Every structure is written in C-alpha cells, then in structure tokens.
Amino acid sequence: MTNKNTSKLNPVMSDSTFSNSIIIKHTTDHRLFSTPLQILYYCFYDLLSESSKAFLYQCEISRID
C-alpha cells in the first residue's frame, strides 16, 4: 500500500541531475558545490547565520553520480 502524502514531507527534492557534483537543497535556496570543504562551510555558515531559520526548513545533502 502506497502513501501518496509522503512526497509532502520532502518538498525540496527535484529531478535535476548534476554529473559528479554534490547538491545542497533546502526550501529557500538551491546551491551546487564541487568540494566537501565548500559544503561544510556553507552548512555551518547557514546554521550560524542570524537570519537562518535552522529549525524551520529542511536541508538535504545528496551525492549524484
């Protein structure tokens, strides 16, 4: 039995494909990075930012080969 409402839990997913890249998605921004250092910097900077609503948006890190 399939729950069609499951998609609502993950509104930031898309079918975009980036070869050999890492994409970070959340509800307010889509950014593409090529190195782990950039990813770590972005994640920590975003979480520590005063304007960041860290607990109000969903953040995903996925590797697409």
Q: Where are the alpha helices (DSSP H) in 1-65?
A: 36-48
pLDDT on residue 46: 54
Binned at pLDDT 50, 70 and 90, residue 53 comes out as: very low
Q: Give the CA-trace dihedral at 14, 32, 43, 38, to 10 degrees.
A: 160
Burial 14-35 (b: 16+ CB within 10 A, else e): eeeeeeeebbbbbeeeeeebee
Say whether pTM exceeds 0.75. Answer: no
pLDDT on residue 15: 41
- Quick check: 9 pLDDT over 50? no
